[in-house]
Chains A and B, each alone.
Chain A
């Protein structure tokens, strides 16, 4: 018992020291990796990289049974779900500015009022504190509608769900089978079409948005599912009142990766996760992709998949091993970055060499060097580069900034001064300087000769010279 605890303790200490070194070596590690490590150390069993406590906010109308497959799936993957309705104050999402849960699922698209702890502002706070959100909206105008705008998602005017009359089918026009694009970084492989009903949203230009599911080309948002609606939409678009709410440019499910590392996913309709849709056969009679889709979306949102982190970065003179606190101009310097990826199955951070197109910038005000940072062959998870420091002294930064859709962002900045050579690092002897050497030598020689002659000479001419001097 005691031995075990001691062993565990030592292990923890080692972790800490490692951690500290990493932090030290990279001055501006973005905080979330630090937190994520804490989460990791605390609950090593969790599937998620940031913890396993989930708060589910359900509408009073819909009970958890409607989504049993989804929620059971989550619990099966080791999450602890807590349920509450929007109105009741306990358990609070955030208390004393400290998030109580690692993940929050807001499946309350209908409810217009929330208890005081759930406001758009508090949700953004949660997100910035690295709590992940899974938010479902509906054609109704709710506080969340205004929140969506902050994520540069534009919801259509209230009461205009997505409508599509194709393909021909017996379901109402608002219940739509949507094809899933196979090449989505969030989803696992290619899925069969998923049933969807709800609102679409248009995207403003925001690099952090990760489109997961887009509307079918022939669908559009309208307040009635009569065919005339289509014309109404077009006219509206032409009048310039509303934009054109139609086509595959609209999103149905969109992820959002914040700079801090927290993830939020917006879903146009909560039914996407429901058991009903999960069982509803597709037009060709197969099982729809809903269940898998929901699982994938949850996995991405709760930072199971597509999670990377910088374990640390070092730099050293090319034929040394320990980092210097400063480099001289034109030194050859090696920079090394260690990246690892979270593996949900083993709940471990594993070194990851799969990144390509990562770039290193050596920056003072502007990048003086920008070049590809290749994985070191043989060493998993290590990316290194050797380059010549520019011929310019100043305070430089090793800058790595890797942002790809669907992956968590990698950022590492290491500050290092680059100094001019020391007084004794310049060449001592210059061949062009020969004239000066010759001058110095000849002068001193001549002086010696003069002294010798003058001492040897008799005392006649000094007097003479003095007499000439004196007047």
Chain B
């Protein structure tokens, strides 16, 4: 059998195996290195700082955990959040992340490595990304083979879709969740393949870890049952499936109920019912199988199947009934909004208002996954070609995840691993085909054309549906020609080629190989460039610190947020309550260490609506609200000077909407638009808009800044009136360098019991008009 290029023949098989495993280890190590390194742009460009919003809370919680120990953390009641309601933190968070870094912290200190907890938090995500690469490698190995695994690991290591949530400093649940997701899936596949309760239990334990770490665990909770159910439908029920699923579900559910925040949800809410139902179905079917094995009457089996199906349907109906009765809570809003996409905007504006809950346009897909996004369908097809149980899993995963990713930007994260796996399968099979030196002998067997390749493939796949790759490998080895690399080569090619067409498949000539391989390598190279570019440019900026480029191209750091937060920390009493829109709650709590009214854990709609009302109503209306909540300072974000578009005026309409949801007849959205229905802040702005607290606080003394020239709001691109708004109930306390953060102090009541407006008028020496005594009685003439 001819070879396209010659292989060294003087190598012992042992050497080949060792060398390949060594190479594999080296490759994995390098991949991990690359994964970590490419996530350090953020630290290099800026500094070792916690990013964005939620991470600040996680960081704060972790500090508590590290300093006070786990029990204190578990019982932590935070009186400074949601003032004055307070927040029972221990019961309302997924503690997995904090626990992880807490453990790492104590281990390092146990080794007398005095590492600051902040650095652990900053570096956690990159560290876990390496682990993710490894678990993806394991997972893909189960799908195809080691080479595909390595490719997948490399992909997930540097793909922006995952980097976006795991750069150094973005200390969020997703940082560890993706690793857990992949590893749980790997263990599940392993358990399913080997049918061992041991791996099932391991899967359950990691599932528990996942539950403790991320709300997205519902994805696993529904993926695995879906997989099992599909297998049953495909008539692939086996004792291995039974053992794997039962052990995973029983232990996993019990374990997950230990997380305080989850509690009894696994048996009370619809999100978890699929798992329960499949569990029941499996029991019934297992029982049926058992009976079938012992009873051999045809009619009886029919009866049995009928009854099984009947019971299954009954079970389903029972769940539905319970839901209607209210024993089982229906879908929660966030979950439901995935199906009925209009739901959130109508009924839960808080969810709809979050930017990462918006649907995804195709450029973001391409930005995040680049070539993987179009290679992965090929991978899916390859999975279909030999349809083993684990391939079914990947296929389902691909469909579901791509739908979710289309609906919500943030769910791109769950799509990414699957895409990496499939793309890796596709890519590695291309490489296998074209690296494999074996050339087919050009016999004119026109009988077997491309067409029956598929047919035969299908037949083999069915026959070896339950068989495993190793079996194939063994079959293939003797068929290969003598030669030390032969075993390796043919195992490689075995996956691509089918047993029947084996000797007659292959590529002729070296140039063709060269062309394809060069093309493939070129694409991979491009992929690497793309990832590096995207990571460094788009995903590495901690939104706490903004960067702009000066005219001369040098980088200019805009640090207003921290400037303002530290001002609060150093110039206000410990107990001073700061009111701001909820986006900044965690940052204020984390950096300024001051009580806040609302923050990013948006559990109390009414409280948020209260803040929205205060912001969107006039001073006189807002003042009593502020006093009632003991607000000392009000903080607003204003981008008008710098052109920072993420400021509060742009979020203002959401505040109005949320407030309107609670006080429909006091706050009405249309009043904030001009008669033409435009959203304006200049002279043409509606009066309600001009009198709203938010507007006044944003543009207070803004016009003066331009020294008589026309004041221009650079975000809205509108010309502001010469005479800015005036404030009677608030004092400007602090405005940051670029005016991004403005802090106002709420005035105390007037000692003479006047309302603050008249008090101000008096201070400015305005004469008030003489008032008259009220005539207490009519005069009799």
Contact = CB atoms under 8 A, between A and B. Distances in A.
B781 A234 contact: yes
B731 to A, nearest CB: 15
Contacts of B750: 259
Interface string B744-763: 00000111111000000011
Chain B CB count within 10 A is highest, among A121, A207, A397, A469, for A469
A469 B762 contact: no
Contacts of A415: 575
Given A127-B751, A237-B775, A423-B75, 15 more contacts: A121-B763, A124-B752, A146-B768, A154-B770, A154-B772, A154-B773, A202-B772, A244-B776, A258-B752, A365-B628, A393-B77, A393-B88, A394-B84, A395-B86, A468-B290
Contacts of B772: 154, 202, 242-243
Contact of B753 (A207, A235, A394, A422): A207
A242 B88 CA distance: 61
Nearest to A363: B84
A420 B260 CA distance: 14
A208 B86 contact: no
Contacts, number: 110
A149 B77 contact: no
A369 interface: no
B340 to A, nearest CB: 35
Which of A245, A258, A394 is most buried by chain B, counting CB atoms within 10 A of its CB? A394
B160 to A, nearest CB: 41
A331 interface: no
Contacts of B775: 237, 243-244
B88 A420 contact: yes
Interface of B: 71, 74-75, 77, 79, 83-86, 88, 90, 239, 290, 293, 575, 628-629, 749-754, 762-763, 765, 767-768, 770-777, 779, 781
Given A149-B771, A243-B773, A417-B79, A394 B86 contact: yes
Interface string A390-412: 00011111000000000000000
Interface residue tally on A, bucketed by range: 35 or more
A26 to B, nearest CB: 12
Contact of B75 (A154, A202, A244, A422): A422
Interface in A430-471: 468-470
Contacts of A27: 575
A124 B762 contact: yes
Contact of B765 (A121, A149, A326, A393): A121
Given A249-B776, A395-B84, A128 B771 contact: no
Nearest to A420: B88
Contact of A247 (B86, B752, B753, B776): B776
A259 B747 CA distance: 14
A365 B773 contact: no
A468 B75 contact: no
B83 A128 contact: no
Interface in A10-48: 27
Contact of B751 (A231, A247, A259): A259
Nearest to A121: B763
B728 to A, nearest CB: 16
B86 A260 contact: no
B71 A259 contact: no
Contacts of B629: 365
Nearest to A264: B752
B770 A423 contact: no
Most chain B beta carbons < 10 A, residue from A150, A152, A234: A150
A262 interface: yes
Contacts of B71: 423
Nearest to B769: A149
A238 interface: yes
A151 interface: yes
Contacts of A326: 77, 79
A419 B767 CA distance: 51
A469 B88 CA distance: 50
Nearest to A147: B762
Interface string A215-248: 0000000000000000100110110001111010
A202 B774 CA distance: 8
Contact of A149 (B290, B293, B770): B770
Nearest to A328: B77
Contacts of A238: 779, 781
Nearest to B242: A469
A206 interface: yes
B75 A206 contact: no
A150 B762 contact: yes
A420 B78 CA distance: 11
Interface string A120-133: 11001001100000
Contacts of A150: 752, 754, 762
B771 A258 contact: no
Nearest to B762: A150
Given A234-B781, A420-B77, A154 B776 contact: no
A385 interface: no
Contacts of A347: none
Contact of B293 (A152, A250, A468): A468
A280 to B, nearest CB: 30
Given A124-B762, A237-B779, A242-B772, A206 B753 contact: yes
Nearest to B772: A243
A124 B772 CA distance: 22
A61 to B, nearest CB: 27
7 contacts: A149-B768, A150-B752, A150-B754, A238-B779, A395-B83, A395-B84, A423-B71
A204 B771 CA distance: 9
Nearest to A467: B293
Contact of B77 (A231, A235, A237, A417): A417
A395 B779 contact: no
A364 B84 contact: yes
Nearest to B781: A234
Given A149-B771, A417-B79, A423-B71, A208 B752 contact: yes
A423 B74 contact: yes
Contacts of A423: 71, 74-75, 90
Contacts of A468: 290, 293
Contacts of B770: 149, 154
A440 to B, nearest CB: 11
A120 B768 CA distance: 13
A208 B753 contact: yes
Q: Which of A128, A151, A203, A393 has the most CB of B within 10 A?
A: A393
B751 A120 contact: no
Contacts of B773: 154, 202-203, 243-245, 249-250
A250 B775 CA distance: 11
